[in-house]
Amino acid sequence: MHRHLQLTEQGKLKHFLSIEGLDKGLLTEILDTAESFAGISEHQVKKVPLLRGKTIVNLFFENSTRTRTTFELAATRLSADVLNINIATSATSKGESLLDTIRNLEAMHVDMFVVRHALSGAAHFIAQHTAPHISVINAGDGQHAHPTQAMLDMFTIRQHKKQFEGLKVAIVGDILHSRVARSQILALNTLGVAEVRVIAPKTLLPAHVRSMGVIPLHDMDEGLSDVDVIIMLRLQKERMNSAFLPSESEFFKCYGLTEAKLLRAKPNAIVMHPGPINRGVEIASSVADGPQSVILEQVSNGIAVRMAVMTMTLGHHGGAA
């Protein structure tokens, strides 16, 4: 569906809006390009001149310090100029429309919009209406997609497991409202894992969840049995008061990841979480800080993956060589 919008006529990445419509080759190219950037953080000079002279606008209609910061760091390490615009406090509150805001920024000769928005489809809308030379990256839209988060998760899995074939992956928690889970499921299946399980109470699973290419389960013991990768999702506490869930302690008892439940997985299973973590709600501190946790690595990998997507969409292929 979004393939034609995201790709150039040559099949290169122009925008990065969704994992949907991207093939295994392109996802692997993102991971390989990120690999070439992964070591840069260790260098004394953390910058490469690939995007010198380019201006990247962080257009955040919804707060997210961590995502915004990693995009900002990624752009800075590529020597781009970065403009942070927090729309919640500026244009739209003055009654300016989204397109007016975009047109004004375009007039400043910017090259890329990194968009985060509470409405599904916002990044696609901007990509459809923006000037032809501008690339758009979706930094999370509504309950729809969060493709760079999914790719940094794939990068982290590949670092630890070397390949995707044969892996069993369990995603646990609020699948229904999670843009991250949707993007992860698409990426995992495209990259060819053996099995994606989703573990959640019925109230937190989408109606047609099987059509997403997953095995839905409601029991942690069964769901975590023999898996290689466990991805815990953040429980949005604001939903606790609604009909979806009984209480935090009840959720933790059934679906929180503890050391005891972790024993069901393979001994070398890795534990992931897109953050921010609610300790004692979806994951016990001893697991979040434990030897199988790669949660902080995910954050570091976010910079390399976002550097990769920025250089690929702005037409600089070949990584940091």
Binding site for L-aspartate, by residue number, is: 94, 179, 234
Which residue is listed with tokens 């805001």?
101
Does the annotation count 94 as an active-site position? yes
Instruction: Please answer whether residues 64 and 299 qualify as being in contact, where contact means their C-beta atoms are separated by less than 8 angstroms.
Output: no
Q: Which of 54, 116, 124, 168 is catalytic?
A: 116
Q: Which residues are annotated as a binding site for carbamoyl phosphate?
A: 66-67, 116, 146, 149, 275-276
Q: Beta-carbon neighbour count of residue 10 at 10 Å? A: 6
Question: 13 by DSSP, 3-state: which?
Answer: strand
Q: Which of 66, 237, 253, 317 is catalytic?
A: 66
Q: Beta-carbon neighbour count of residue 260 at 10 Å? A: 11
Give the integer Cα–Cα distance in Å for 183 and 19.
Answer: 6
Residues 6 or more apart whose Cβ sits within 8 Å of residue 81: 54, 55, 56, 75
Question: 81 by DSSP, 3-state: which?
Answer: strand
Within its chain, how far is the Cα of 214 from the centroid?
Answer: 18
Q: Which residues are annotated as a binding site?
A: 66-67, 94, 116, 146, 149, 179, 234, 275-276
Give the integer Cα–Cα distance in Å for 309 and 112.
Answer: 11
Instruction: Please answer whether residues 239 and 245 qualify as being in contact, where contact means their C-beta atoms are separated by less than 8 angstroms.
Output: yes
Does the annotation count 66 as an active-site position? yes
Does the annotation count 158 as an active-site position? no
If phi > 0 it is left, if psi is from -120 to 50 it is alpha, else beta; for residue 180 that is: alpha
Give the integer Cα–Cα distance in Å for 55 and 67.
Answer: 18
End-to-end Cα, the chain, rounded Å: 34
Q: Which of 146, 158, 182, 273 is catalytic?
A: 146
Does the annotation count 146 as an active-site position? yes
Dihedrals phi, psi of 263, to nearest 5 degrees: -65, -20
The two structure tokens encoding residue 191: 């990259």
Does the annotation count 101 as an active-site position? no
Give the integer Cα–Cα distance in Å for 191 and 181.
Answer: 15
As annotated, the active-site residues are 66-67, 94, 116, 146
